[in-house]
Amino acid sequence: MNEISVQDVVDALRPQRATSTCDPVCLGVGGFVIEVRCTSQALLAELLRYFQHVITVPTDPDLTVHVLNPIDLPFDVEFNDWAREPGKAGRKDAIADLADGRLVLKVRTGLRFLQAPGWAVAFGPVEDHPNQVINFINTQILNKFQREDWVACHAAAVRTAGKGLAISGLSGGGKSTTMLRLMEVAGTQYVTNDRLLVRATGKGAEALGIPKLPRINPGTIVTNSRLAGLIDEDREDELRNMEQDELWHLEEKYDLFIDDIYGPGRISHDAQLTDFWVLNWSRNSRAPTAVSRVDLPQRTDLLSAIMKSPGPFFQTREGPFWTDSTPLDPGAYLTALEGVRIWEVTGQIDFDALFDAGAELLGGDQ
């Protein structure tokens, strides 16, 4: 553990926080209000555009997130690599545990983050990496609700007036493509693309999405006619001419603004969760796509697609920070999802067939 304290870091950052901050903006999700104070007007404009649907009137915030330009700390900090998830390669995050907090370093970009009770600070080349700042802001929402015993699911989700459908993926993936296809069902709203908080209540499972817009792969774009024009026409032609296997594995992310594509009023981060699809289909299967009801306590193997580590920024309610070896609790997920209908999607990857199943499930809500 470093001998440096949170106060040492705060004092080093104080001159920039005090003298060069833009007007603050407040964001509200699930009754939790975050105030963002940013030193870059250009970055602030991007954040305002991104979070426009959750901007709220200025009020006393529950937490302030400070976003600062590059600054050299007047002391050395020893970072240790955070282990990647199975199947992921390369260095991504490194951590430095302080006496009363934690510094997190994004290895590839050099952004640093202070996470401590009452403090959330991003500093470094923030203008060059707005998506990492967006993720940090969203992490504060995840942290708040996970401390209140919500579980974080690696899932996309849509909702209607009376139903909420979450989508996780095992082999093959496709949750974002599926979710966006289901936005074509009348009355649906976008809840989340990748992180869904869930807890059990006396009236069933309650779900909350974070204001993270879909970051989608090219395969999602070229298989959805509504998304035509989202990227450069020449690049889209190149993608359409790729082999399916090459296209499937291409990592090239694009932000999708829901309001721009589907119109206003199509986002609601709150939902009553009634159904959960686990995509366990395969591009190599020749069997028809099937959606079958399963008993999750008897199929705990499916939890590997649902559960998601809180990551290096998470500090528990009791005080200790999460480590890269802290185990997840399957029992907490089984409790949170009790009463939710769990479905396993098997067979070949057929988005048309899955859309029909989703339209029937969600359309019955009308």
Name the 3-class secondary structure at 215.
Answer: strand
Residue 24 pLDDT > 80, yes or no? yes
Amino acid at residue number 242: M
Say if residue 197 is in the same domain as residue 332. Answer: yes
In a domain, 125, yes or no: yes
Say if residue 190 is in the same domain as residue 260. Answer: yes
Say if residue 35 is in the same domain as residue 156. Answer: no
d(CA 143, CA 146): 5
Say if residue 88 is in the same domain as residue 158. Answer: no
DSSP H or E run through 361: helix 351-363
Say if residue 301 is in the same domain as residue 287. Answer: yes
User: Is pLDDT larger for residue 112 or for residue 244?
Assistant: 112
Containing domain of residue 36, as a range? 6-146
Say if residue 96 is in the same domain as residue 197. Answer: no
What average pLDDT score do residues 314-341 get? Answer: 95
Domain boundary among 146, 161, 192: 146
Reported pTM = 0.92
Name the pLDDT band for 310 (thresholds 50, 70, 90): very high
| pLDDT attached to residue 9 | 92
Of 183-197, 230-244, 322-336, the poorest mean pLDDT is in: 230-244
| pLDDT attached to residue 216 | 80
Name the pLDDT band for 20 (thresholds 50, 70, 90): low
pLDDT in tens, 119-143: 999 999 999 999 999 999 999 999 9
Of 15-19, 20-24, 254-258, 294-298, the poorest mean pLDDT is in: 15-19
In a domain, 75, yes or no: yes
| pLDDT attached to residue 324 | 93
Name the 3-class secondary structure at 90.
Answer: coil
Say if residue 333 is in the same domain as residue 356. Answer: yes
Number of structural domains the chain divides into: 2
In a domain, 57, yes or no: yes
Say if residue 72 is in the same domain as residue 190. Answer: no
pLDDT in tens, 191-221: 999 999 999 998 899 999 999 999 887 777 7
What average pLDDT score do residues 18-30 get? Answer: 85
pLDDT in tens, 255-281: 899 999 999 999 999 999 999 999 999
In a domain, 200, yes or no: yes
Say if residue 141 is in the same domain as residue 177. Answer: no
What average pLDDT score do residues 97-119 get? Answer: 95
| pLDDT attached to residue 248 | 65
| pLDDT attached to residue 333 | 98
Say if residue 132 is in the same domain as residue 196. Answer: no
d(CA 240, CA 263): 26
What average pLDDT does the structure give for the chain? 91
| pLDDT attached to residue 226 | 84
Say if residue 200 is in the same domain as residue 347. Answer: yes
In a domain, 240, yes or no: no
In a domain, 126, yes or no: yes
Say if residue 136 is in the same domain as residue 200. Answer: no
Domain boundary among 98, 113, 146: 146
Which residues have a Cβ under 8 Å from the Cβ of 360 and sit 6 or more positions away? none
Domain boundary among 129, 146, 163: 146
Q: Where residue 349 sits, what CATH number does that domain have?
A: 3.40.50
| pLDDT attached to residue 86 | 73
In a domain, 226, yes or no: no
Residue 116 pLDDT > 70, yes or no? yes
| pLDDT attached to residue 172 | 57
| pLDDT attached to residue 297 | 97
What average pLDDT score do residues 334-347 get? Answer: 97
What percent of the chain shows pLDDT beyond 70? 95
Which strands, in side-by-side order, build the sheet including 32-38?
55-56, 25-29, 32-38, 63-68, 119-123, 112-116, 102-106, 93-97, 80-81
| pLDDT attached to residue 243 | 72
In a domain, 222, yes or no: no
Residue 365 pLDDT > 70, yes or no? no
pLDDT in tens, 60-77: 999 999 999 998 899 999
